[in-house]
Chain A
Amino acid sequence: MSVQLAGGSSRRVRLTYREAVRAGMRHALSADDRVFLMGEDVGSYGGAFAVSLGLLDEFGPERIRNTPLSESAFVGAGIGAALGGMRPIVEVMTINFSLLALDQIVNNAATLRYMSGGQLEVPLVVRMATGGGRQLAAQHAHSLEVWYAHVPGIKALAPATVEDARGMLLAALDDPDPVFIFEHATLYPLEGEVDEEPRPVDICRASVRREGGDVTLVTYGGSLAACLAAADDLADEGIEAEVVDLRTLRPLDMDTVLVSLGKTHHAAIVDEGWKTGSLAGEVSAQIMERGFDLLDWPVQRVCSAEVPIPYAKHLEDAALPSRERVAATVREMLV
């Protein structure tokens, strides 16, 4: 595989995040006969988030396969199809539903290469929506990415931009291992400009989305927007925040975080998961292990409140990391 980094010379187009994922899938389906999509209502319904809208007409029901509500069977069938030489894209409606497929993911997808002494290969891509902010309450709004990032043998990606939404899917399809892509559900309408020609993006490195010298905000996925907004607010007060988008949750690119910390000596991690056992906790621990001497202030974490995410808007807003909570945390660090 040759990962060509985006940023070539082709024409720029404006897409939503949803259209970008679809464009990535369309490109892959056109370019490679081994690629197919399966999941609940990905066919004529167009996917619960309308990501696959129109693909059934273009590619037909053999390659755009509606599945029954059997997460374990269709994720496991994705594993088997990958073993059989295909390049399946499996859409699980949301991360909450993916728990029904955890056996297949953790016990099979993640283990087969290793457990077979390197004989088997599971080039599977699983996409799912994640996160809260849409008043869907405690069975549709959680951010459980860290559970997947915990498991060796799989890779976990969290595209936060339109370019990553498309390019990470293509990179994932080029990868020889199971790759899980977590699409924050509030991002689907997000618009951005990308090269017209779809290309895979790097999936090994974090990205500095905003430069600044006073504090490092480490984040990913749906929380990137809150961090960038908080950075704008802080800039008005003379505080320059650097925003690092982790992009890949497993394996973590801590080098980029530590380089930033070398400049700012302050880190706050913004993660929509619950604080206890969070990805923010992992990043924080790795900072302690590798960058303790860089710190002028204890690492701070802005995470979701330790509650099942509530329905009522004012409660949900209070539970999730917000621009205001991020900015307030930074102000306390820099007093």
Chain B
Amino acid sequence: MYSAAKIHGFLHLYIGEEAVAVGVLQALTPDDAIVATYREHGQALARGVPAASLMAEMFGKANGSSRGRGGSMHIFDLARRFYGGYAIVGGGLPVAVGLALADRLSGREGRLTACFFGDGAVAEGEFHESLNLAALWELPVLFLCENNLYAMGTPIRQELAQPDISLRAESYGIPAEPVDGMDVIAVEEAARRAAIQVRRTGAPLFLELRTYRFRAHSMADPDLYRTKDEIGDWRQRDPIALLEARLREAKLIADDDVSALESDVAAELDHAVGVAEAGPFEPVEDLTKDVYGRSAQ
């Protein structure tokens, strides 16, 4: 759709990192809040935001999840407590801390705020400020560092003097655990354990999900900073293929199931594209609508 010029602007594909969103979202309840990044369609889909609503958003249509105001980097779905895609690296972390603070102050016990961010965010001041604040105030935030080893094109070893990200979280007194982010079962198990603990203690917890993106940073990225061999090695651990192999081995699925699933996905995508194509553009007369909630004139 991007190549067909139906989708414009930046688009950051999630291919390779699927196990992170899918695994973590299994552990959340509808009452939990989610804060994510500009690569958030994975989380949005896993949260149950309809694919058609996402596709329409990327097409810039009024039936998109943000009425075409946000595009791929700014997916919001308040009904699902999906508080959005934040496109300034690190910018979602303070917001997540505040959502957790609101739960605490309102006495909504047992809720948590899941905050996704990448390894690049670890170098931002907002990462440190937010971890400190969440730990200091013992707020129920589940910090989820999606470590795909690159901050855009800069490898982590060129960016972080201490590349052990979990160690950084622990330095704020937040228990942290590295997880194989290519294994959806491992991610889900770790997320469930973590969520139980956050709900029980009301205090933050940190998971470092070690993953890899198979595609470039965005559609604008020529991907000159890593080798095909490296990408190829990681593709050997494709999270979807790994899961399929495991399910086949356990005789939980067979060829028929896989092809049925594939055709379901293809049908869902066709439907999403159809809805997006058919959707209206927001009238230009509404350009200034929703800058403010109440007339500012």
Contacts and interface: CB of A to CB of B under 8 A. Distances in A.
A304 B98 CA distance: 37
B291 A153 contact: yes
Interface stretch (B65-73, B178-186, B243-251): B65-73
Nearest to B115: A80
A13 B113 CA distance: 45
B222 interface: no
B78 A120 contact: yes
B126 A73 contact: yes
B97 A76 contact: yes
A181 to B, nearest CB: 16
B294 A152 contact: no
Interface in B89-127: 91, 93-103, 105-106, 113, 125-126
Contacts of A155: 292, 296
Contacts of A65: 137
B202 interface: no
B100 A80 contact: yes
A114 B95 contact: no
B143 interface: no
Given A103-B126, A119-B66, A70 B77 contact: no
A289 interface: no
A113 interface: yes
A interface bracket (residues with beta carbon within 8 Å of B): 35 or more
A95 B86 CA distance: 25
Given A104-B94, A108-B95, A113-B292, A120 B102 contact: no
A116 B93 contact: no
B200 to A, nearest CB: 21
Given A80-B100, A84-B33, 11 more contacts: A65-B137, A75-B94, A77-B97, A79-B95, A80-B102, A81-B101, A81-B102, A83-B102, A108-B95, A112-B76, A117-B64
Interface of B: 33, 35, 64-70, 74, 76-78, 83-84, 86, 88, 91, 93-103, 105-106, 113, 125-126, 129-130, 132-133, 136-137, 289-294, 296-297
The 9 closest A-B pairs by CB, nearest first: A80-B98, A76-B94, A84-B102, A117-B67, A73-B129, A176-B293, A77-B98, A116-B76, A70-B129
